[in-house]
Structure 1
Amino acid sequence: MNASSALGAVTPSPLARRNPTVKLAILFIVSLALLFVFDPVTPGLLYLLGLAAVLGFARIPLRTLALAHLPFVGFALGILVVNALSRPGEVLVDLPPIRVTVAGLLVGSALALRTMAIGILSIGFIGTTDPVSLMTSLHQHARLSARVTFAVLAGYRMLQQLPREWQVIRQAQSVRAPLRSDGATRFGIREFGRAAFTLLVVSLRRGERMSQSLESRGLGLGARTVWRPVPLGPADWLLLAGTLGVLALVIVGVSRLGLGLGPGMLL
């Protein structure tokens, strides 16, 4: 299960009313800043602050939030284990064949917490952002071309229809499929491959028809109007400034305490 499938529909919340382009910019800037941080304290603090913000302003149910965490937790644990067991340095635990080093544990925990910090921000972004509003906002405020935004929206609509198409294909196959001894429909590797190939062909044909439809309507040849404009107001700028201020405060504060580590830890 991935984060997007766990989150589902966007629920009304204070964070959901903020401009999608601003939220995407915040996610990008924080992720970029964390690329140059290799201490566990900074990403750990940012994760806790991000978790508090998502719980307080995104109104995502706790169960949904926990399920959306699963991919990031699994990836973070993998990073931690690989670095702890593979990096050279002062040995902390030596139980052959397990050998954990101090540097590996430090770098691994930093990268794992970085994954969690970016993960909680991604969960908050996905859980409070409507895809249509995102593409409309990128077209309005980020000056993304109409050819790109409308094509992405068309592709998104196709992705939404894939589960229903799969169900229809499976129902059609089950009518002709032989039954097992217990009366259930047989669905093995061969049947799965046929259904997947059929879904691929149907999607390609639908994509071709959609591209022809967009081209016949002159997509990208001139200026396009927006049916439902996405507002960009002072509250959005305040969110951006406040988040960047907190980010700078955490990084500078950790550095002043002597806990900050840079890319030199990888050497």
Structure 2
Amino acid sequence: MTAISAASPASFASGSVLARRNPTVKLALLFVVSLAMVFIFDPVTPAVLYVVALAAVVASTRLPLRTLALGHVPFLAFGLGILMVNALSRPGHILWDAGPLRITAEGLSVGGSLALRTLVIGILAIGFIASTDGVALMGSLHQHARLGSRITYAVLAGYRMLQEMPREWQTIRQAHAVRAQLRPDGSLPSGLAAYGRAAFALLVVSVRKGERMAQSLESRGLGLTPRTTWRKIPLTRTDWLMAAAVLAVLGGIVYASHVLGFLEGYDALFS
């Protein structure tokens, strides 16, 4: 489980500005920004985008700094790995040489760009996860993105099962503790074998619950059309204004980077 989910950031950001925006619009913006980052290979442009995105997420989600920092850990580790691989393996002008190891300027530039790209996508993903309820997301995708009802309700059922898994795991562990043979010192047995038995029991319980849930969905006419929506997810003018502002900022930063001579595309990989 990631640090961001472990900290349950949705509880912090539930009443924030970003949490009130339409989930489909936020997901689409995350996809567009991530797609734009694929074509950028200079370190300056993603660095500026990261600073702007970080400020926007902090201001619009009200996440505690500790939760935000923990959410960065996997992205920082991945970005550092990309930076090191490119710096040590990409040919170019050698900045440092120690036997078989050498660091090139081109490797640092491309690696830094890819690492900063990871951080940009990471901070946007953290903001999206922290401000978006899973049920509201699927409902919005069904209502506004025309996602099929079979996929929508199947994912919602799976999401509900995932929410209940920690409680199921605790129940199974407690049941095993009641029936377990105590050690000579009076303590409960632990180790891989005990956790393996609990994991197998959880798997069996989940499979049986999934089968019952599938039968329940089918008996209620899953997939039949037309269907009505009880709790509608609004798509307001503010959502469109947010989308326009994000795209304008993204386009403005990329254009300014191009005018100033920092912007580089795929040519940086072969220079």
* TM-score normalised by structure 1 residue count: 0.96
Q: After the TM superposition, which residues 208-247 of structure 1 pair with which residues of structure 2 at under 5 Å, given as runs?
A: 208-247=211-250
Greater Cα shift, 60-69 or 157-166: 60-69
Aligned to 2:102: 99
Q: Structure 2: 5+ residue runs without aligned partners?
A: none
Q: After the TM superposition, which residues 45-84 of structure 1 pair with which residues of structure 2 at under 5 Å, given as runs?
A: 45-84=48-87
Offset of residue 182 of structure 1? 4.0
Q: After the TM superposition, which residues 1-267 of structure 1 pair with which residues of structure 2 at under 5 Å, given as runs?
A: 1-2=1-2, 3-10=4-11, 11-267=14-270
Mapped partners of 1:37, 1:7: distance in 2:
33
Mapped partners of 1:112, 1:196: distance in 2:
36
Q: For residues 18-72 of structure 1, give each alpha carbon's deviation from its aligned partner in whole angstroms, at most 9, with x where no partner exists.
A: 1000000110000000001011111111111111001111111111111111111
Offset of residue 92 of structure 1? 1.0
Mapped partners of 1:153, 1:123: distance in 2:
21
Inter-CA distance 104–234: structure 2 relative to 1 (3 Å threshold): same
3-state SS of paired residue (1:261): coil
Mapped partners of 1:95, 1:65: distance in 2:
37
Offset of residue 96 of structure 1? 2.7
Aligned residues: 267
C-alpha contact 1:7 1:65 (8 A) present in aligned 2: no
Inter-CA distance 228–250: structure 2 relative to 1 (3 Å threshold): same
Offset of residue 201 of structure 1? 1.1
Greater Cα shift, 243-252 or 91-100: 91-100
User: What is the identity, as a one-letter code, of the residue corresponding to 1:4?
Assistant: S
Mapped partners of 1:106, 1:69: distance in 2:
22
C-alpha contact 1:7 1:126 (8 A) present in aligned 2: no
Mapped partners of 2:267, 2:8: distance in 1:
37
**What is the RMSD computed on CA atoms of the aligned residues?**
1.3
User: What is the identity, as a one-letter code, of the residue corresponding to 1:9?
Assistant: A
* TM-score normalised by structure 2 residue count: 0.95
Offset of residue 8 of structure 1? 3.5
Q: Identity across aligned pairs (percent)?
A: 62
Q: For residues 229-257 of structure 1, give each alpha carbon's deviation from its aligned partner in whole angstroms, at most 9, with x where no partner exists.
A: 11101100000000000000111110111
3-state SS of paired residue (1:16): helix
Mapped partners of 1:184, 1:52: distance in 2:
50
